Amino acid sequence: MIDDIKGILELSDIDVRRLELMRKRRELPLAVEKLKKEIAGEAGMVQECADRITALEAENKQLEDTTREEKDLLRKSEDKLMHISTNAEYDAVHTEITGHKNKINAIEDRMLSNMAELEKLGPKKQELESRLNNEDLTQKKEMLIQLNAETAALDAELAVEENNRNEKMKSIGGNFVRVYERLQKNRKNGKHIGVVEDKSKICSACACSLTSQKYIEVRRNNSLQQCESCGAILVWKSE
Ligand SMILES: [Zn+2]
């Protein structure tokens, strides 16, 4: 076997490894994103719950102040009743009193509904928080660290293979490299080499039978031969 053929076979092996590394590398960012979203989602839900509790408590405090003011005003209106002399005054003060009472009732309804929601939110927040600390999320965080490490490792491996590839290319005859590169550009399945064996006499890349003439030339293993069907570089393998 001439060195160029040996070189092309080695180049092809490197490329198979590179393709596999690149395939794995492409999948990693998706997995990382998915995990990040899941982790952020859990933390986000706790925050949302905590924010709602703060808002409800603040609103109730505000409502308590308003109730106190309204009750004060109500008392003052009721005091006025003692010093009333005309029917018109009586009606006016009564309208005031009804107004204050209605406001106080509305505020109390609102506070009750807020408290009912707060009663449910307390345990819900606790449950979400316990989920944040549970094994599942811890595992996810660990997995994320692991995936990031894998990404770095794959990048390093790819860089090594890239370097191997460049070195290998320099050692192979220009004609072989040109054909190989063209095949690699035009087909993405990685089948750039057709191995031919005595027993089968077919191109392993496309499974087509070789003509007798082609077979004889490939068997010599000393020149650049391409499959007449698929164009793969043909290499003869003795058993
Ligand atoms: Zn072929």
Tell me: the pLDDT tens digits for 148-200? 999 999 999 999 999 999 999 999 988 889 999 898 888 777 788 999 988 88
Task: Compute the distance from residue 77 Cα to the ligand 1 centre, in Å.
Answer: 102
State the average pLDDT for the chain: 91
Query: What are the contacts of 168-171 at 24+ separation with CB within 8 A?
Result: 168/7, 168/10, 168/11, 168/14, 169/11, 171/3, 171/7
Rounded distance from Cα 190 to ligand 1 centre (Å) = 13
18 CA distance to ligand 1 middle (Å): 22
Kindly report the number of other CB atoms within 10 A of residue 215's CB atom.
Answer: 17
> How many angstroms is it from 10 CA to the middle of ligand 1?
19
- Centre of ligand 1 to C-alpha 210, Å, is 8
Orientation angle between helical segments 87-132 and 3-81, nearest 10 degrees: 150
Q: What distance in Å separates the CA atoms of residue 68 and residue 62, rounded to the nearest whole number?
A: 10
Q: What is the DSSP string of 82-128?
A: TT--SHHHHHHHHHHHHHHHHHHHHHHHHHHHHHHHHHHHHHHHHHH
CA 231 / ligand 1 centre spacing (Å):
6
Confidence (pLDDT) at 43: 85
CA trace torsion 47, 51, 54, 56 (10° rounding): -130
Where do we find the tokens 């499959």?
Answer: 227
**62 contacts: CB under 8 Å, gap ≥ 6:** none
Q: Which ranges of 172-187 does DSSP label H, i.e. alpha helix?
A: 174-186
pLDDT digits 0-9 by tens, 56-115: 999 999 999 999 999 999 999 999 988 888 999 899 999 999 999 999 999 999 999 999
d(CA 123, CA 197): 72
pLDDT bucket at 136, cuts 50 / 70 / 90: confident
Q: Identify the band that residue 132 occupies on the pLDDT scale cut at 50, 70 and 90.
A: confident
Q: Which residue has the tokens 């095949």?
A: 183
| C-alpha 211 – ligand 1 centre gap (Å) | 12
Would the pLDDT of 124 be above 90?
yes
| CA of residue 204 to ligand 1 center, whole Å | 7
Model's pTM, two decimal places? Answer: 0.61
CA of 219 to the centre of ligand 1 (A): 15
Question: Measured in angstroms, how far is the CA atom of residue 9 from the centroid of ligand 1?
Answer: 16
Residue among 139, 189, 181 nearest 35 (CA):
139
Distance in Å, CA 218 to ligand 1 centroid? 12
CB 192 within 8 A of CB 233: yes
The rounded Å distance from CA 206 to ligand 1 centre is 4
119: phi then psi, degrees, rounded to nearest 5: -65, -35
Please check the confidence at residue 1 and state whether its pLDDT lies above 70: no
Q: How far is the CA of 182 from the centre of ligand 1 (A)?
A: 15
Q: Are 198 and 23 in contact (CB under 8 A)?
A: no
Please, what are the domains in the chain?
A: 20-171 (1.10.287.1490), 174-237 (no CATH)
Residue 168 CA to ligand 1 center (angstroms) comes to 24
Classify 188 as helix, strand or coil.
Answer: coil
* 29 vs 22: CA distance, rounded Å: 12
Q: What is the pLDDT of residues 217-239, one digit of tens each?
A: 999 888 999 999 999 999 988 76
Distance, CA 50 to ligand 1 centroid (Å)? 66
